[in-house]
Every structure is written in structure tokens, then in C-alpha cells.
Amino acid sequence: MIELNDVSKVYSNGVKGLEDVNLKINKGEFVSIVGLSGAGKSTLLRSINRLIDISSGDIKINEKSITSASEKQLRLIRRDIGMIFQSFNLVKRSSVLRNVLSGRVAYNNTLRTLLNLFPQKDVDLALKALERVNILDKAYTRSSELSGGQQQRVSIARTLAQEAKIILADEPTASLDPVTTKQVMDDLKKINTEDDVTVIINLHFVDLAKEYSTRIIGLQAGKVVFDGTPEEATPEVFEEIYGRSLKEDELLGEENL
């Protein structure tokens, strides 16, 4: 369970990223966060695994505060949280397998990982993860040789190998075409239902949010302005979140799905 209590974030340039956010996200939920760019979606996501330090408030992951965690505790909490980025963030020159194995670094002692001596169990786990996202045959390929969709599946495989209990996905489909977008979303949904992994995802396309999630959170200027089921998220609600009616490019469109 993830709890955010009175979380605020003010950036050093005075911009308010988040303002008094209170949320409780239960295990196994598939939560989409929607809002205009600059509404604080990324800030919210990155606060959860403390890639961004919040200014005030407290965030608890499974009853443990990540806000006040020591360096070591922080790494242990992060070990259970997978993250998927818009730009994939793979090391392009490294092999696919090494990128997936990098999800296991926090389970092993530093020296072992530096020498690239992962236990066989970890290698098996990584290979299985690649098979689950259907790119096992690319295990020893350089990541740079993969297409965008395949690269994003490598980063999903990394969270699988990581045995993450929570997956944070920051606009994971923004650099992908509609077909691969759907594949990536299906992969995430599968992991969510089969492994009971909590998924929190920032989405640009509101129709994707409605189709895949069990809960939608709307952000506006750092504040939560909507929190409900996809059924409750009517076009009027979106109009309120966005402060205007939806634009064409905020819908992926039925014909694409």
C-alpha cells in the first residue's frame, strides 16, 4: 500500500509541483494519472520512489516512510519499486540481458554486481522475464538494435526481473506508435492481474486511461482534482481536469486500438 500524506513539492525556482496531495493506493490497483503537462504527474510519480525529494509531508510504502528513510533503507524500498520511463532509459550499448539484470543490482553485494557475476538464479529470472515479454531471442543483442517498442519491453522485463511489487510508469507509451502502445499496455495489465503488482501510470491519452485502469486520478496545478473509477470519469470530468474540452491529440482514437 502506498500512502501520501499532505505531500507538497516546491521546486527551487518557486514552481509548485505538488500541493497537499493525500492519496492511498492499495495493492493490485491499476492507477492512471492524467492532467495537462506541467500538472505535476511526473513529480507525483518520482516522489513515490524519491527520485525527487518532497518539500513537506510524508510518503509511506507498505507502512515504511520513504521520505525519512536512510540511504540504505531507501535502496531497499526502491528494490521493490520498478520504474518505466518514456525514453526507456536503457544503456543502449549494453546487451538486453545486462539491462534486465541491472534490475537485480540491489539484491546482490556491490562487488559481485560490478564484476558482472550475477547468481544463476538471477540470470534465470531475467531470461524468464524476457520470455514473458516475448523478446527472449534478443537476450544477447545490443539494446540499440531494438525498436522502441522492444526497448520498452526490455524495461518492463527489468521490473519483472526485479520482482517489483509496484511499477511506476512515466508516460511509457509517449514515444511509441499506437500498435506498440497497445502491446506495452497489455503487458503492464497482464503483470498487474497475474502477479498482483500495483501499477501507477502517467498517461497522455485519456482513452487509454479509461480502458486499462481501475482508478483514475486527475491532477491540476499540483492538486488532486479527481479520484475515481473509469466509469465515473465522464467527458465532463476530463473537461474539468484539463480546464477545457479534450483535444484530438489527447485521444488515441478507437480506430487505432
Task: Please give the residue ranges that form the binding site for other proteins (CB under 8 A).
Answer: 49, 51, 71, 74-79, 81-83, 85, 87-94, 98, 102-103, 105-106, 110, 113-114, 121, 124-125, 127-128, 131, 136-140, 155, 158, 162-163, 168
102 vs 213, beta carbon nearer other proteins? 102
Grid cell digits, residue 154: 526490455
The distance of closest approach from Cβ of residue 40 to other proteins in the complex, given in angstroms and rounded to an integer, is: 18
Q: For residues 174 and 202, give the distance between their C-alpha atoms in angstroms, rounded to a whole number.
A: 10
Pull the grid cell for residue 241. 481536469
- Starting at the edge strand found earlier in the chain, the sheet holding 64-65 runs 16-25, 2-10, 56-61, 64-65
| Angle, vertex CA 159, rays to CA 158 and CA 164, nearest 5 | 145
Q: How far is the CB of 233 from other proteins (least distance, A)?
A: 29
How far apart are CB 230 and other proteins at their closest, in Å? 28
Closer to other proteins by CB, 124 or 177: give it: 124
Residue closer to other proteins by CB (options 196, 232) is 196
Q: Which residues pair with 224 in a beta bridge?
A: 219
Least distance from other proteins to the Cβ atom of residue 84, Å: 9
Q: Which is nearer to other proteins, 47 or 206 (CB)?
A: 47
Question: Is 63 within 8 Å of 165 (Cβ atoms)?
Answer: no
Q: What are phi and psi of 246, to 5 degrees?
A: -70, 145
Q: Is residue 89 within 8 Å of residue 69, measured between CB atoms?
A: no
- Distance in Å, CB of 158 to other proteins, minimum: 7
Nearer to other proteins, 96 or 224 (CB): 96
Q: State how far the Cα of 121 lies from the Cα of 73, in Å rounded to an integer.
A: 24
Distance of CA 80 to the CA centre of its chain: 12
